[in-house]
Amino acid sequence: MSSYFHYRDNRLYAEQVPLADIAARFGTPCYVYSRAVLTDSFHRFTEALQGREHLICYAVKANSNLAILNIFARLGAGFDIVSGGELQRVLAAGGDARKVVFSGVGKSVAEMLMALDAGILCFNVESAAELDRLNDVAESMGKIAPVSLRVNPDVDPKTHPYISTGLKQNKFGVAYDEAIALYRKARNLSHLRITGVACHIGSQLTEPGPFIAAAEKILLLADALAAEGMPLEHIDLGGGLGIRYRDETPPEIADYVAALLGVLRGHSEKLILEPGRILVGNAGVLLTRVEYLKHGEEKNFAIVDAAMNDLMRPALYDAFHEILPVEREINAPPLPNPPPLGGEGAIEKSNSSIFEIVGPICETGDFIGHARSMAIAPQALLAVLSAGAYGMSMSSNYNTRPRAAEVIVDGNNMHLVRERETVRQLYAGEKLIS
């Protein structure tokens, strides 16, 4: 837990604001972010990169709330986007299009038109067909599109298979061995201008090794391109730095950057990074209230008002998120007596303090946490930690559940940065037929 989320007199605070006050004012489920954590993590990058020409392109997909994008824009960030929608968010939040890199394997013509019109920094192109399409679209607009190839370095990131992207078998990027040929092709397309190279090998990496291995391969490629008369302006090493959810020990930002700069020694190209999770993950918690305590045959359930539609990571990746009581004293009923040994039914289930923390959705996969040993009072407020990244941005309306409110805490102040959705908004575009 970041130090900006802390207990004072047994009450959990975000900066100087008790989380219980936020729940009382805005209801639950509610995402709460600390501005100080957002700012601090960004500054760690800029400090580590001092003296090196660089651009931190925050990966919008991690959390695309306009207020968060705006905070990063004001700190000088660029943005890594993967859709026209994300571009519109960046622009609406006051981001600078000239600091935007556009990743993704499936860019549509409409998205290319929008991005060329906005004047983004670079398209990270992921296939030969995309080079052709981008060239055609640029030509139709009388523009020259800046391009990098996203190269797949075939490095094992040693992370969850759903979020590893830099292996040969993944759909991402162009094959390392084909990269030079594709650069030659790009050079010959009249409405493209080669500006760089990009790679991104996966997310939630907890060791520096794979980043270094990928960077080394990308630099070899950059050298080979320079030797062919295609010097690059920038090298984009993607995102992927992991955070601590439970007991992981990912490198510190400073150490990660230092390791990359070590590999880059002798290279003067501008360094672009695309961090997402590391900037926002531990800046946010999901506040939820217990609706019911239910003692099943084999397990005890705390049924909370947040569900897999609000935070999909546990259901999708079996991801672990720490869960803490928002008010420790109120939440602490007498600790269970040690269960008498042996004898069926000897354990009084209501005393058990091992809970399945689950949501109200009609799916067994709807859980927030398994087998959590904690005291939970009826109606208690809980905080699901490390929920700032890929929480709200992956939320859905399954079971016609309006999406949660979002609040940013800044010192003593709380700001509602996204209203809770209403059910009317959910079906506003739907029509009956006769």
Which of 35, 313, 321, 401 is in the footprint of ligand LLP by CB under 6 A? Answer: 313
Contact letters (x/-) for ligand LLP, 93-132, by CB under 6 A?
----------x-----------------------------
Q: Are 298 and 345 in contact (CB under 8 A)?
A: no
Q: Specify whether the CB–CB gap between 290 and 303 falls below 8 A.
A: yes
| Interface segment toward ligand LLP; rule CB under 6 A; list 175-183, 199-207, 246-254, 407-415 | 199-207
Find the shortest distance in angstroms from Cβ 148 to ligand LLP: 11
Partners of 14 in the beta sheet? 5, 17
Q: Is 204 in the site for ligand LLP (CB under 6 A)?
A: yes
The nearer residue to ligand LLP, 1 or 163, going by C-beta atoms, is 163
Cβ 10 vs Cβ 394: under 8 Å = no
What is the nearest approach in angstroms of ligand LLP to the Cβ of residue 18?
Answer: 28
Residue 384: beta bridge partners? 286, 323
Q: Per rule CB under 6 A, is residue 390 in the interface with ligand LLP?
A: yes
Indicate the helix (H) or strand (E) that contains 42: helix 35-48
Question: Which residue among 163, 375, 377, 426 contacts ligand LLP (CB under 6 A)?
Answer: 163
Binds ligand LLP by CB under 6 A, chosen from 208, 275, 284, 325:
275
Shortest distance, CB of residue 181 to ligand LLP, whole angstroms? 22
Residue 241 CB, nearest distance to ligand LLP (Å)? 6
Structure tokens at 150: 């996203």
Q: Kindly state the smallest distance separating residue 6's Cβ from ligand LLP, in Å.
A: 25
- Residue 355 or 390 having the CB closest to ligand LLP: 390
Which residues 6+ apart lie within 8 Å of 215 measured at CB? 237, 260, 263, 264
If you ran DSSP here, which 8-state letter would residue 403 be given?
P
Q: For residue 362, indicate whether it is catalytic.
A: yes
User: Does 166 contact ligand LLP by CB under 6 A?
Assistant: no
Among 19, 32, 62, 308, binds ligand LLP (CB under 6 A): 62
| Interaction of residue 203 with ligand LLP, rule CB under 6 A | yes
Which of positions 18-57 make contact with ligand LLP (CB under 6 A)? none
Identify which of 315, 245, 311, 229 has the alpha carbon closest to the alpha carbon of residue 278.
245
Q: Angle at the Cα of 128 (from 127 to 134), degrees rounded to 5?
A: 90
Q: Collapsing DSSP states into helix, strand and coil, what is residue 402?
A: coil
Query: Please, which residue, 241 or 384, has the CB nearer to ligand LLP?
Result: 241
Question: Binding string, 235-274, against ligand LLP, x = CB under 6 A?
Answer: ---xxxx--------------------------------x
Among 14, 22, 56, 59, binds ligand LLP (CB under 6 A): 59
Distance (Å, whole) CA 43 – CA 280: 13
Q: Which is nearer to ligand LLP, 275 or 359 (CB)?
A: 275
Q: Which stretch binds ligand LLP (CB under 6 A): 85-93, 196-204, 344-352, 369-377?
A: 196-204
- Please give the Cα distance from 385 to 320 (Å, whole number): 10
148 binds ligand LLP (CB under 6 A): no
What is the b/e burial string over 305-329, where b = at least 16 CB atoms within 10 angstroms of the residue's CB? bbbbbbbbbbbeeebbbbbbbbbbe
CB 66 within 8 A of CB 100: no
Nearest approach in angstroms of CB 317 to ligand LLP is 6
Which of 13, 28, 71, 80 is close enough to bind ligand LLP by CB under 6 A? 80
Cβ proximity of 71 and 38 under 8 Å: yes
Render 74-102 in DSSP notation, one character per residue. Answer: HTT-EEEESSHHHHHHHHHTT--GGGEEE
Length of the chain: 434
In this structure, what token pair is assigned to residue 270?
Answer: 């501008």
Contact 317, 58 (CB under 8 A): no
**According to CB under 6 A, which residues from 316 to 345 bind ligand LLP?**
317
Write the burial class of residue 111 (CB in 10 Å: 0-12 exposed, 13-18 middle, 19+ buried). buried
| 86 scored as a contact of ligand LLP (CB under 6 A) | no
Q: Can residue 410 be called a binding residue for ligand LLP (CB under 6 A)?
A: no
Catalytic residues: 362
Residues in contact with ligand LLP by the rule CB under 6 A = 59, 62, 80, 103, 163, 200, 203-204, 238-241, 274-278, 313, 317, 390, 394
